[in-house]
Each structure stands twice: as C-alpha cells, then as structure tokens.
Amino acid sequence: MNIQRSFPWVAGVVVLCLPLYGSGTRPPGNKDAPKAAQTAPQPSELIWPLPPDPPRVRWLAEYTDMAKVKSPVAKKSGWLEKVTGTKTPEEKLELRKPYGITTDSRGRIYTADTQLATVFVIDPAARAVEQRKGDSRAPMAIPVGVAVDTQDRLFVSDAGLHSITCFSPTGQVIARFGTNSLGRPGGIAIDQRRNRLYVADAKQSRVAVFDITSLEFKGYFGIPSQPGKPENCTFAGPTNVAVDRQGNLYVADTLNFRVQVLDPAGKFLRAFGVQGDRPGEFIRPKGIAVDSEGHVYVADAEFNNFQVFSPEGQPLLAIGKLGSAPGQFALIAGLYIDSKDRIYTTEMFFGRVQVFQYITAPAFSEGKQVVKPSNH
Amino acid sequence: MKLRSCLLAAALLGLASLPALGGNLPKTGLTGTTHDIAASGCKGCHAPHNGSTANGGTAGTGIILLWARSFPNSSNTFGVYDSNTMGNKAVELGGSTLTTSTDVRMFSLLCLSCHDGVTSSFSPAMKTENQVGSKAAFGTGAHESLGLANDHPVNMNYDPTKNTSLQPVATVQASLPLYGSNNTVQCATCHDPHNNVNTNYLRQPNTATHCTTCHL
C-alpha cells in the first residue's frame, strides 16, 4: 500500500503559515470575510462543535515539511532550468515521529522528533527552522518531551539516554542531568513559579521532580500502581504531564486509563476518566494540557482525537478522528497549550504538527453568562 | 434480506478469521504478561463499551459532551475504536475497498499506540513506504536496542517478484498471516499479542525455521 497514493495531500500539502494573531482568532461568521473563501470550506474554517452550538475550537495550521516553513510556495523554475530541462530537486525535511511539543516567549514551536533524534524549532513569523540535536559530546538519542522556561531555556527529555538535556536559547547544550533518577522519561512540564520541572516516567510509573535552577533531583510524586489497583497517587505508565495556572499537576496516567490531578505538594486532588470507548473515557491517554480557563485537554492515541474536559473532569468536547485531513489524527501523541490558548498537537504516524485555537466565548461560558475581557 | 447478509457476514468472518487468527485465541497466554495491561485482561486493547452506571457510565443516555449538545451523528464521528478494530475484521474478510479506517496499517496502529518509544520501549518506523527490495527504509547496522527502525519491516509489501530470495506468498501464509491485498507485513505477521509462550510474543519459536518462513 503506497502511503502517498492513499493520502495524496500528505506529500503535497502546502503548510499554511497563517498570521496566528489575526485571522486565527477572527470571530466566526465575520461578515467581512472574503466571499470567495465561503464557497468551499477551507481548513482554516474548521470549527468545533458545528453550528448551532457556539464554536469553541478553530483549526489554525499544520506543519509536516520543515522545508515548506521556509518557502511555503514552490519555486518557479528559473531560465537555466527551462533551457537545460533539468529541475532542481525540491528540498524536503519532513517530520517523522514528533512527540513532545511546546512554544517559547517568541511564539516559536518546539517539537521533539523521536526518530530523527532532533528537536525542531519552528518560527512561523520568521519562516525559519532550527534544530537542536545536541553536540558531538552529547547527541540526542530518543528526544521525547520538551519544555521551555521563561528565559527560553529548552529542556528535552530523552528516553534513550534516560536523562534531561538543557539547551541555551541559542541552542548550546548547557547541561545533562537526571540519569540516576530517570527510567524512561516521557512528557515534561515546567512550573515556573516553583522553579520546577516535572518528568513523567513511564518505566518507573511515577513523576520525577527537578529544580530548574540547580538542576537537582528533588524527589518523586506517586508510586507504581499494583496491577488492577489504581489507588490515588499511584501510576501505571504515566506518559505526559501539564501544570495549570495554580501550579497543580495533571498527569496522563496512561495505562490506568485516567487523568490524575495532584497539588504542588504531590497530594492527590482528583482523578477522572475510565477505560472505555465512549466520550469522556480513555484507551490511550497521552498528551495533556490545561487552557487559561482551566479546561483539561487530553489526546488519545487510540481514539485519535483530543477531548476537552471541565476542570472537574466533565467531558465537554471531542475533536478529531482517525485520518490525515486537517482536524483528524493518526497516532496523536503530544499536546500543548500556549499562553494565547493555542492548542498544539503532534502525530507520530504521518509526522505532523497541528495548531488549533481555543475560542473564549464569554457569553456561553457554561451558561453562566460570565462577561470577561477576551484574551486576545 | 438484511438478516441473510448479516448471517453471511458472520459466517465469512468466522471462516476468514481462522487462518489469520490461528493459534491466536486470547485465553491461553495473556494473563500476567506485559500485555495484561493494569491487570485488565482483554480490555487493555479491546476497550469496553461501558453502559451501566456500575461500569462508570451515567444513567440513561450515557456520557454527554456538554459543548456539543446538538452535534450531528456524534456517535458516528466519535466511534474511532470501531475504525481500528472493526476495520481489521473488514480487512480479514478481504474487503476490497480499503478506506482510511480499514487500511491494513490499522493493524499495526493498535500496537503502535503503546509501542511509541515512550509508553513502551519499542518504537518501529512507519512513515516510509516499505517495499521489498528497497533497503533505504531500514538501517544496515546491528539490532537496535531502543528503536526498531532498522529491522522491523512494518507495512512492507511482501512481494517475491521483487526479491527472488523470498519464499512464495502461499508458503508464508501457511504459517504466518500477511495482510491486505498487497500481502503486507504488519506487526501481527510475526507477533501474536495474545500469547507470550515463544517470548517477545512471537508466533513461532525464534529459531532458524522462523527466518526461513520468508527467506529462502
């Protein structure tokens, strides 16, 4: 089965570098929108849920080929090519198996490609792509989780090296740490206020805590669950973590098929989700993030969607199904939400990053008619 | 008419499943293995359809998505689990229309949802078009301890006309299943996720006979 023949757009897709602050946050049904765009549904008009329900999430962009970030439009052949009949081969740098994803203060997108053993740094505004491969003394092996602190230092967990690598904002390796306390580190998250780095460790079934200034190991949250006994504060193959604005820790407790929420002291607050195939349930919960209003987003690699929950765990919305079109997923893995409530996802099957926008809808906030200023 | 086609489908399923699922019956070797995820038995991969409140469901209509109360056909758009596992059955039935959801690669997607290099350690490469005869997709080095990119030809079209040092398709199929109309190698060609009697969940003992099933 020829992958590219089955999914022709995968190879041919033009990566849309939308001005994210502009059109991406335009209110739905804007009458000033160009007429031409309304004739056929464009990917940028994808919204969830569909009318008449108020839209909550809008599709913004996708990235598959890093070369197209730099030059989104194919070059016209020059006079020399026309004369000689030769064609310059198009440059390609496709994502292979991206897992972790995050952004920095400049709006650059970082994604760890576990197969290419590199972290791509995508700058949508400058149309630039950099890589963080480590240096010759400390090359990356299987980079998985990424997180950036307020100084734009990049932390990368590596499942092959069983450690965390810290990069300077310009890409120099500053330090590598955690080898003695990590098994197979996965997703990571930073609590800037407490100066902490949380590392989900699927092999040890617990969450490791580091200080991001001293880079010292501070201890673990939780212990491994006894098989079939998912007690509070015990984990089975946790793969991803997120921190909300209060500093509470959200853990995708993958092989317990649930989300656990711990307070900054590591104390159990709540858990939600059960194993099952209905909305609000989980089969392979992986990437996790919290938006500015406390909603919890969880990617599921078997549903191939991400589900949105209220802070208490009530299911609100499910976005995506198996497929390769915008808004669909194949082996969705990482999920991250930036300070502007943009949602970033990675997929390991087609090698793709997708970007969505959570639409703050004050008038429809759970029917409470809360009026608050827009984040945008 | 409807009943008859249902019966026919069920009969076909039963027949067609036999060669593919030979020696694949779940009860024998799963309990206590690493695939007995959180001691949940079959449910680790075959997700349950929870209905009653006792099973975590809510009374009456089940769980409702609050933000999408009028979402049209919400059950259709959500039923991705069907796509993966029901899709597999369609392929085993020899379904001729391979849509995305019934693509043969869905066999391996189920495996890869855990074997992604993070949740579990092994992480095969899947994106490239894997053809017999093109070694480009695989490395030439020794067995990889963490990834499987260089020695696990997932989704390779098994085509002895492209590589003359391979056994005929029928010889392979006598002991190992190939999937889809292109006779692709999927994870389940060599591995039986339900049985760990041969270690590494192999369908056959890891001896020379296993190699010569495909290689002349």
Structure tokens at A267: 């104390």
Check pLDDT > 60 for residue A117.
yes
Rounded distance between C-alpha atoms, residue B159 and residue A340, angstroms:
51
pLDDT at site A168: 96
Q: What is the pTM of this model?
A: 0.78
By CB atoms closer than 10 A (0-12, 13-18, 19+), residue A103 is buried
Q: How confident is the model at residue B147 (pLDDT cuts 50, 70, 90)?
A: very low
B112, A302: Cβ pair inside 8 Å?
Answer: no
Total residues belonging to chain B: 216
Whether residues A333 and B116 touch (CB distance < 8 A) is answered with yes
Higher pLDDT, B61 or A203: A203
pLDDT on residue B156: 75
Would you state the pLDDT for residue A178?
96
Contact between B210 and B162 (Cβ < 8 Å): no
Residue B185 has pLDDT above 50, yes or no: yes
Is there a contact between B50 and A141 if contact means CB atoms under 8 Å apart?
no
Residue range B36-53, pLDDT digits in tens: 887 777 878 877 776 655
What's the mean per-residue pLDDT of chain A? 84
**A280 in contact with chain B, both atoms CB, cutoff 8 A:** yes
Q: Please, are residues A292 and A375 in contact by the beta-carbon 8 Å criterion?
A: yes
Asked whether the beta carbons of residue B67 and residue A303 sit closer than 8 angstroms, the reply is: no
Tell me whether residues B109 and A239 touch, CB distance under 8 A. no
Higher pLDDT, B120 or B192: B192
User: Rounded mean pLDDT of B65-88?
Assistant: 41
CA distance readout (Å), B79 to A52, A302, A320, A330, B47:
22, 11, 11, 14, 12
- Residue A263: phi and psi, rounded to 5, are -85, 175
3-state SS of A93-155 is CECCCEEEEEECCCCCEEEEECCCCEEEEEECCCCEEEEECECCCCECCCEEEEEECCCCCEE
Q: Where are the beta strands (DSSP E) in A133-236?
A: 143-148, 154-158, 163-167, 173-177, 185-191, 196-201, 206-211, 217-221, 223-224, 234-235
- pLDDT surpassing 70 at residue A1: no
Which positions 3-42 of B are in contact with A (Cβ < 8 Å)? Answer: 36-40
Q: Is the pLDDT of residue A47 over 60?
A: yes
Mean pLDDT comparison of A24-33, A241-250, A306-315, highest-scoring range: A241-250
For residue B6, report the phi and psi dihedrals to the nearest 5 degrees.
Answer: -65, -45
Q: Minimal Cα–Cα distance from B199 to chain A, Å?
A: 20
Give B175-188 as a DSSP string. Answer: TS--BTTTTEE-HH
pLDDT digits (tens, 9 = 90+) for A337-354: 999 999 999 998 878 999
**B50 to chain A: closest CA residue:** A276
Which of B80, B123, B128 is the best mutation test for A, with the most CBs of A within 10 A?
Answer: B80
Nearest to B126 among A333, A349, A366 (CB): A349
pLDDT at site A35: 39
Whether the Cβ atoms of residue A317 and residue A279 lie closer than 8 Å to each other: no
Instruction: Give the one of B56, B118, B184 whose C-beta lies nearest to A186's C-beta.
Output: B118
The continuous run of DSSP H or E covering A305 comes out as: strand A305-309
CB contact under 8 A, B80 and A304: yes
B103 neighbourhood in chain A, CB within 8 Å: 1, 6
Label residue B80 by pLDDT band (50, 70, 90): very low
Contacts of A99 in chain B (CB under 8 A): 116-118
Band of the pLDDT at B68, cuts 50, 70, 90? low
Burial of A144 (0-12, 13-18, 19+ CB in 10 A): buried
Task: For residues A94-98, give the mean pLDDT.
Answer: 88
Residue A131 pLDDT greater than 70, yes or no? yes
Q: Which residue has the higher pLDDT, A350 or A287?
A: A287
pLDDT at position B206 is: 87
Closest partner residue to A318 (CB to CB) among B78, B119, B180 is B78
B36: which chain A residues are within 8 Å (Cβ-Cβ)?
Answer: 227
Instruction: Report the share of chain A in percent with pLDDT over 70.
Output: 80
Chain A neighbors of B182, CB-CB under 8 A: 1
* B141 in A contact zone (CB under 8 Å): no
> Which pLDDT score, from 0 to 100, does residue A289 have?
98
Q: Specify which residues A120 forms β-bridges with.
A: A111, A131
Using the Cβ of B64 and the Cβ atoms of chain A, whether some distance falls under 8 Å is answered with: yes
Is there a contact between A1 and B117 if contact means CB atoms under 8 Å apart? no
Query: Hey, what amino acid is at A132?
Result: R
Q: Does A17 touch chain B (CB under 8 A)?
A: no
CB-CB under 8 Å, A142 with B155: no
Surface-to-core class of residue B142, CB atoms within 10 Å of its CB (0-12 exposed, 13-18 middle, 19+ buried): exposed
pLDDT at residue A288 tops 60: yes
Q: Which residue of B has its CA nearest to A6?
A: B100
pLDDT of A16 reads 41
Compute the residue count for chain A. Answer: 376
Q: Which long-range contacts (CB under 8 A, 24 or more apart) does A209-214 make?
A: A209/A266, A210/A164, A210/A177, A210/A178, A212/A149, A212/A153, A212/A155
Interior angle at CA A300, CA A330 and CA B78, nearest 5? 80
Q: Residue B181 — very low, low, confident or very high, per pLDDT cuts 50/70/90?
A: confident
pLDDT of residue B58: 52
DSSP state at residue A338: -
Average pLDDT, chain B: 63
Closest partner residue to A1 (CB to CB) among B72, B146, B184 is B184
Lowest mean pLDDT among A210-224, A336-350, B125-139: B125-139
| DSSP category for residue A88 | P
Q: Which residues in chain A have their CB less than 8 angstroms from residue B69's CB?
A: 53
Instruction: For residue B47, give the nearest of A203, A276, A331 by CB distance.
Output: A276
In this prediction, residue B123 carries a pLDDT of 58
Paired tokens of B206: 């890891």
Residue B53: per-residue pLDDT: 56
